[in-house]
Structure 1
Amino acid sequence: MKKLVSLLLVIPLFYCWGDSIHAEENNSIQEEMIYTIFVDRFNNGDQQLGNQVNVDDPEAYHGGDIKGITDKLDYIKQLGFTTISISSIMENAGEGYHGYWIENFFEVEEQFGTMEDLQKLVEEAHKRDLHVILEFVPNYVAPTHPFAKDADKTIPTSVKDSVWLDKAVTLNLENTEVKNMLFKAADFWLEEANIDGYNLHAIDQTPLPFLQEFVDHLRSVKPNIDLTGSVLHENDLTDEYDNVGIPLIENAGMQKAISDVLTNAGTPVEELYHTWESNGKRGGLVYVDDKFTKRFTQKIVESGQNPLTTWKIALVYLYTAPGVPQIYQGSEIPMDGASLEEVQRLVQFNNSDQDLQDYFNKIAAIRKQFPVLSYGDFELAGSSGAMSVFKRSDEDTTMFIAINNDTGTKAVSVTDVPDGMQLTGLLGDNIVRKNEQGKYKIGIDRESVEIFVVEKDNGFNWLFIGMIVGVFVLFILAVVLLSRKQRKNEAIQP
């Protein structure tokens, strides 16, 4: 009975969530849900692009390509994402599977496909109301790039702590010829492929004057361009970078906090709120892992927790807290991995967990339906042990997000709810009404979550309950009549 009532409540809700608001011209990037794709390690769609493929070598191409992304657009859409952010696809030097050893800013890397493949990808993505963002690398080129041997066009590489960066050359972004080339390259991909924007690589290593000029130029070419920024070293990111016009910058501080707290049952969720406050109440891109970190699932397993349970908790926080959720490919499987080789494996689509994928879709639908989760005020409504309740509110809507990271059932009472209202759960069939003390007591099981929307308390819906009861009565009567008819037929047979 309980499951049937829950199902009937959810069906009309998801029916209205089915229509995407993503295609609206005024839709802000703050409403997006981003799926990040590491092209060479995503999906092999064209088996003929195998000149440099060696899956046994972690530093060689593994066969992922642009066609492989196109083949998975329906899959990505079904997960509820609105934007795909694709790693660098410009022509690279040999073994530049990561895309950071650029030889030509105006050509597609042949291991990934052709410009026609990219155009087809963007066209098919737009048919599905998906935006496409390309990673743009302004700082680094391969030693074989024409500028690499010119002392006026390069500067010493100040950061050398990765396999790819150790072999890269850093461009002098104050050089006029270098600047003009990068501006033309940015225009080229916008015009030729009709992409929606760029993920600007390592903005913390990019001189602010160039970055400001570059962003201003992009907005003059495409006023509604989607812009995000990745960060190489969080400590190099000063407050000035928040004012150059890139609305979404990776929030590495929150990434570490979310990952550490939620992979350790019993750790207070309240710590995430305090980290957010101490981090300047920044939103930006919120995530739990990427192609350079230990996978979130790996940390879950190492802590002895259930990956499915912990991922559900993490998704609720990522999709309801300030910022835009950014999910690394394969998280929906969910894939694990500790070493760089494991983290950068091709996505294992055949090992997927349908329950987790359905949850991705469900939580995305809730975020789409309620803009308050993208723009509303964010505050801590209360905590008990490792459980916290967060509040998102604007002039029209108030929601409470309950996250219990504790090892036992916990409850938190909230009071700032107008009279005559109730809290209606969207993930389960939970309803919380005011008690005799005038409080709303939110209690949930250990390692679980619930999202409540504040709405008018109409008491029990006796008409709806009557309809449910009527359905069961009719069903029972039908069974009885069929049974009698069957017995009667058996009785008159010779």
Structure 2
Amino acid sequence: MHYIRKVLLVMVLFLCFIPTITVMAEEQTGERIYYILVDRYVNGDSSNDIEINIDDPTAYHGGDLQGIIDRVPNLSELGITTLNLSPVMTAGSYHGFDLLDAQSVDPQFGNIAELQNLVAEVDEHDMKVILDFVLTHVADDHAWVKQQSDWVAEPSMNQLDEELPTINLENEDVQQYFLETAVYWIKSTGIDGFHVYVDEQTPPSFIEELRQRIQAEKEDAFLIVDGIEDENQIDHDFQREVVDILKQPGKSLEPLLTQEINGFHYMESALTSRFTHETVKEGFHPVTRWKLASTLLYTLPGSSFVYQGVEVPMDNGVDEPDHRMAELNKEDEEITQHLEKLAAIRQDSSALKNGDIELIAQAGAMSVYKRSAEDQTMYIAINNDTETQVASLEGISADMQLKGLLEDNIVRQQNDGTYRVILERETSNIFVLEEDTGFNWFFIAMMIVILGGFVAFIVAISVKNRKMRQE
């Protein structure tokens, strides 16, 4: 018994020396945003199913705010830092891009108290909530249209290619109304900002005043701008280019990594076809493709969006936006674990959140780029080739090593002074640059002690049993 206690004590002491991941406070740079199409996410409260028809793709299907509340713990485990809700304001359609009342919650989704509850639940998990804020179109039967008000202009196509009356944001009264509306939502619910949809007619001065107004109400509130150039704009060109590269193996990321990268990045959205569908059309496994894509998204400067259902990953089988109910009961464990690991790495990395980016090596369709901050340097290797590739890295001191974080391995300097990163086809890894301490003799010694103790314990039990049988 005393011997067993000693073995257990050694094991406990050994475990105390295993390194842990430190969770740091999230900064606004490097948000991991999960976009939710509210009506097509989760039906958490059937009492607000006022008029649903799940067989009609244009009707409400029952998703609501309570359904999102119920899923917050799951999203937190994925490392999501911000929830972006599709328009929750009262609208003419399930998607909310045809506004009816900018200052009320669509009763199909719940009420303002439930939105407040969602914000509180998200706060408990150190996350944020932002709302889609459509500043381009209203529904055909909006009061402004009926009154033939100069608050609306001639019809134009909205984000979903529907022809609707256009909001006249050149009208100063309209601007004032939406500025007050934005402040209303911040004050009444505690949300953390907006994802605004605008067009080329939107005065830049209005966007700047909107940002100032919401930050005067809540200092750390932020604004994502979709439709015109802005410091926090959605990078749609990036999405088109990266999907074309990563939907199949064989193409290099070099053209993407040699241009200026900033803003908010994504692979798919409620307004595009599924990335999964694009990969399946090319005849490739979507989980493999998604693992490469998510490694890229989580290690680039700026912030990244993922669209509901990425955990599956979902495919509606057509070249159109996927507005089906999220199939969250079909989560793929491999991609979920990959997303969780990426989130943990980024959470603890100053280089990934704030560092510079530089492409440093190419080998076939394998790219290696460096993210460097004052206190940390990371190397990201993504092999989008059809075969194993080797990249030789130069300019790294001889007393350093590259420690793999996605795949647990160590890369040390070769005799020619280079560091050789080897990746199998369609895989990726993230390396942190650290001092080369040589072999971990303490770890090896402890393993020998534990294994030796275990063997000795088995031998002792065996001898004791043999003696008992002889007696």
Query: If the TM-score is normalised by the length of the shorter chain, which range does it land in?
Result: over 0.9
Match of 1:194 in 2: 190
Alignment of 1:30 onto 2:29: yes
Query: Which sits farther off after the overlay, 429-438 or 332-341?
Result: 332-341
Matched residue SS, 2:293: helix
Once residues 301 and 483 of structure 1 are traced to their aligned partners in structure 2, the CA distance between those partners, rounded to angstroms, is 57
Match of 1:460 in 2: 439
Alignment of 1:445 onto 2:443: no
Match of 2:8 in 1: none
Matched residue SS, 1:411: strand
Unaligned runs of 5+ in 2: 1-13
Match of 1:181 in 2: 177
Shift of 1:204: 4.6
Deviation by residue 1:196-216 (Cα, 9 ceiling, x = unmatched): 111112355533233233233
Shift of 1:375: 1.5
What is the correspondence of 1:22-61 to structure 2 with a 5 Å cutoff? 22=26, 27=27, 29-61=28-60
Structure 2 residue identity aligned to 1:70: I
Shift of 1:491: 4.6
Once residues 159 and 151 of structure 2 are traced to their aligned partners in structure 1, the CA distance between those partners, rounded to angstroms, is 22
Shift of 1:172: 1.2
Once residues 228 and 353 of structure 1 are traced to their aligned partners in structure 2, the CA distance between those partners, rounded to angstroms, is 30
Deviation by residue 1:226-261 (Cα, 9 ceiling, x = unmatched): 211223xxxxx4xxx32xxxx431111111122111
Within the candidate set 310, 325, 348, 2:327 is matched to 348
Match of 1:139 in 2: 136
Say if 1:250 and 1:286, in contact at 8 Å, map to a contact too. Answer: yes
Once residues 406 and 97 of structure 1 are traced to their aligned partners in structure 2, the CA distance between those partners, rounded to angstroms, is 41
Shift of 1:450: 0.9
Compared CA separation, residues 266 and 114, structure 1 to 2 (3 A)? same
Compared CA separation, residues 210 and 161, structure 1 to 2 (3 A)? closer
Matched residue SS, 1:140: coil
TM (normalized to structure 1)?
Answer: 0.88
Within the candidate set 12, 21, 24, 2:25 is matched to 21
Compared CA separation, residues 256 and 89, structure 1 to 2 (3 A)? same
TM (normalized to structure 2)?
Answer: 0.92
Structure 2 residue identity aligned to 1:127: E
Once residues 387 and 33 of structure 1 are traced to their aligned partners in structure 2, the CA distance between those partners, rounded to angstroms, is 25
Once residues 329 and 35 of structure 2 are traced to their aligned partners in structure 1, the CA distance between those partners, rounded to angstroms, is 19
Once residues 320 and 44 of structure 1 are traced to their aligned partners in structure 2, the CA distance between those partners, rounded to angstroms, is 33
Compared CA separation, residues 261 and 340, structure 1 to 2 (3 A)? closer
Shift of 1:284: 0.9
CA RMSD for the aligned pairs? 2.1
**Total equivalences in the alignment:** 457
Deviation by residue 1:176-222 (Cα, 9 ceiling, x = unmatched): 33222211211110000010111112355533233233233333333
Shift of 1:481: 2.8
What is the correspondence of 1:140-179 to structure 2 with a 5 Å cutoff? 140-149=137-146, 150-159=148-157, 162-163=160-161, 165-166=162-163, 168-179=164-175
What is the correspondence of 1:59-74 to structure 2 with a 5 Å cutoff? 59-74=58-73
Say if 2:239 and 2:268, in contact at 8 Å, map to a contact too. Answer: yes
What is the correspondence of 1:380-391 to structure 2 with a 5 Å cutoff? 380-391=359-370
Within the candidate set 240, 260, 265, 2:249 is matched to 265
Matched residue SS, 1:147: helix
Compared CA separation, residues 205 and 256, structure 1 to 2 (3 A)? farther
Match of 1:322 in 2: 301
Shift of 1:475: 2.2
Say if 2:187 and 2:217, in contact at 8 Å, map to a contact too. Answer: no
Structure 1 residue identity aligned to 2:127: L
Match of 1:219 in 2: 215
Once residues 40 and 12 of structure 1 are traced to their aligned partners in structure 2, the CA distance between those partners, rounded to angstroms, is 44
Say if 1:136 and 1:201, in contact at 8 Å, map to a contact too. Answer: yes
Match of 1:97 in 2: 94
Shift of 1:419: 3.2
Matched residue SS, 2:140: coil
Once residues 169 and 187 of structure 1 are traced to their aligned partners in structure 2, the CA distance between those partners, rounded to angstroms, is 24
Match of 2:122 in 1: 125
Compared CA separation, residues 223 and 340, structure 1 to 2 (3 A)? farther
Alignment of 1:480 onto 2:459: yes
Match of 2:4 in 1: none
Unaligned runs of 5+ in 1: 1-7, 232-236
Shift of 1:381: 0.7
Once residues 396 and 199 of structure 1 are traced to their aligned partners in structure 2, the CA distance between those partners, rounded to angstroms, is 32
